[in-house]
């Protein structure tokens, strides 16, 4: 199977004569055999991007290259790119077999070849025994298998998955996620996986491209993106609960370096070894797991507990600090604080993230000089 590389070059999609910009000049390169997740909240332009890649929508400007060749002028059916829809888009008036055979019949493949391919894909997806029944009799996860199978049977160069698991119940979703991971390993396709679910993105993709308001704000390896968010949006989007973000400024005082928030101040001299520090406003990112409750008077900041939520073995404690809700991830095993209780919080100074408040980009902490970290490409 060929493994093309896909490139999006300044890809843009406008609606209503430019009044709405759904996709805003995005650039993205995907290597052959790679699985990349387009992650973002609803309406950020993920599905529009997929529709342009597959050929259902024409870009307003920009280009799409597959194996170095522009495919913008090639109709959807001739790009050899498969798309699995969120709503399955299974032809319920046909049997499962007819659904799987549909794409090959259009391509006028010999009947024996179609039958062989359909049985192979049905075997791969575990739906061989359902081939003769009408698709309308299938349940959610089976419909999703048929939708994936119908795409796989045509042996696409690139497989696009548009929130394929979001209509499934939790149990089926876990099973399908395992299934997709297995397929990905067995077939080795180039896959673009659109989702708003970061767990899905983190568990299925090699790389994640985070989208916001039509732009790609960061593209990073899955193993790296949580450790080194390159943009404030990414820091505030990933994680459950996501990173706490505090606006403030760096200040030197008596040879010590402080982060001055309106309500608290952190001495960062032992953590940061910056030759020059940014003079403007910065945003300090602190993961909820990097904060802990400490005995009164011994913490870095004080606040009032506003909510305590236990989720299995973990607990999320929300503390109001200067009008800002700060989330702390704690073990459910320890005794929880009461709401309205005054508490102190200690920061783990070794796991801080700093962003420029104007550009929203990451400032690398452990360099000898201040360096704006451009989003990786």
Partner 1 sequence: MTEPKKLTRLQAIILLVALILTLFPIFWIVMTAIKPPTDWNASPAIWIPSEPTLINFKTLFDPDAIRAYGVGGVSQAATSAVIGSIIASVTATLLSVSIGLFSAIGISRYAKNSKWTPLVILSGRMFIPAAIAVPFVIIFSNIGLTDTYTGLIAIYVAITLPFSTWMLKSFVDDLPREIEEAAMIDGKSRLAAHLTVTIPLIKGGLFATTMFIFILNWSEFLFALVLSYSNINTIPVQLAKYVTATAGTLYGVQAALAVLAMLPLIVVGYFIQSHLARGMTFGAIKQ
Point out which residues bind partner 1 (CB under 8 A). Answer: 16, 54-56, 75-78, 81-83, 85-93, 102-103, 106-107, 147, 150-151, 154
Q: Please, what is the minimum distance in Å from the beta carbon of residue 116 to partner 1?
A: 18
SS (H, E, C) 160-218: EEECCCCCCCHHHHHHHHHHHHHHHHHHCCEEEEEECCHHHHHHHCCEEEEEECCEEEE
Q: Please, what is the minimum distance in Å from the beta carbon of residue 66 to partner 1?
A: 14
Taking Cα atoms as reference points, which of 285, 289, 302 lies closest to residue 331? 289
* Cross-strand partners of 21: 14
Q: CB–CB of 208/39 below 8 Å?
A: yes
If the CB atoms of residues 92 and 128 are measured against partner 1, the closer one turns out to be 92
Contacts of 198 (CB under 8 A, 6+ apart): 39, 237, 238, 239, 240
If the CB atoms of residues 147 and 286 are measured against partner 1, the closer one turns out to be 147
The CA distance from 223 to 208, in Å, is 9
Helix, strand, coil percentages (3-state) for the chain, rounded to 5, are: 25, 35, 40
The CA distance from 164 to 168, in Å, is 8
Q: Please, what is the minimum distance in Å from the beta carbon of residue 339 to partner 1?
A: 42
Is the link from the previous residue into 241 a cis peptide, with omega within 30 of 0?
yes
Q: Is 197 exposed, middle or buried (0-12, 13-18, 19+ CB in 10 A)?
A: middle
The CA distance from 81 to 104, in Å, is 14
Q: Please, what is the minimum distance in Å from the beta carbon of residue 245 to partner 1?
A: 37
- In whole angstroms, what separates CA 282 from the centre of its chain? 25
If the CB atoms of residues 154 and 198 are measured against partner 1, the closer one turns out to be 154
Q: Please, what is the minimum distance in Å from the beta carbon of residue 78 to partner 1?
A: 7
Q: Are strands 353-356 and 69-70 parallel, antiparallel or unpaired?
A: unpaired
- In whole angstroms, what separates CA 142 from the centre of its chain? 25
The CA distance from 225 to 198, in Å, is 11
The CA distance from 115 to 284, in Å, is 59
Question: To which H or E segment does residue 306 belong?
Answer: strand 301-311
Q: Please, what is the minimum distance in Å from the beta carbon of residue 327 to partner 1?
A: 37
Q: Please, what is the minimum distance in Å from the beta carbon of residue 280 to partner 1?
A: 43
């Amino acid at each position: 199977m060929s493994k093309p590389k896909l490139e999006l070059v300044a890809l843009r999609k406008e609606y209503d004569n430019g009044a709405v910009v759904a996709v805003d000049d995005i650039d993205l390169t995907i290597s052959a055999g790679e699985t990349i997740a387009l992650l973002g909240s609803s309406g950020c332009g993920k599905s529009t991007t997929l529709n342009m890649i597959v050929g259902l929508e024409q870009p307003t400007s920009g280009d799409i290259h597959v194996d170095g060749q522009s495919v913008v002028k090639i109709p959807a059916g001739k790009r050899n790119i498969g798309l699995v829809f969120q709503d399955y888009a299974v032809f319920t008036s046909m049997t499962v077999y007819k659904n799987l055979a549909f794409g090959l019949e259009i391509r006028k493949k010999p009947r024996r070849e179609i039958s062989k391919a359909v049985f192979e894909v049905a075997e791969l997806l575990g739906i061989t025994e359902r081939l003769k029944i009408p698709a309308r009799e299938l349940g959610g996860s089976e419909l999703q298998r048929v939708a994936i199978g119908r795409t796989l049977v045509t042996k696409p160069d690139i497989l696009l998955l548009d929130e394929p698991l979001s209509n499934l119940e939790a149990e089926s979703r876990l099973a399908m996620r395992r299934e997709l991971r297995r397929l990905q390993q067995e077939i080795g396709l180039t896959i673009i996986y659109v989702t708003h679910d970061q767990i899905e993105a983190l568990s299925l993709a090699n790389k994640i491209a985070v989208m916001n308001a039509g732009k790609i704000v960061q593209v990073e390896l899955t193993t790296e993106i949580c450790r080194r968010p390159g943009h404030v949006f990414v820091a505030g989007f990933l994680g459950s609960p996501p990173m706490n973000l505090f606006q403030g400024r760096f200040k030197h005082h008596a040879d010590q370096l402080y982060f001055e928030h309106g309500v608290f101040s952190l001495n960062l001299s032992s953590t940061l070894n910056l030759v020059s520090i940014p003079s403007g406003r910065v945003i300090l990112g602190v993961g909820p797991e990097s904060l802990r409750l400490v005995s009164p008077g011994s913490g870095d900041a004080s606040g009032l507990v506003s909510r305590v939520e236990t989720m299995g073995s973990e607990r999320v404690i929300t503390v109001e600090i200067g009008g800002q809700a700060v989330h702390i991830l704690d073990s459910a095993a320890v005794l929880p604080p009461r709401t309205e209780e005054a508490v102190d919080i200690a920061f783990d100074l070794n796991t801080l993230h700093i962003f420029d408040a104007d550009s929203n980009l990451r400032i690398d902490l452990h360099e000898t000089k201040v360096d704006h970290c451009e989003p990786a490409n």
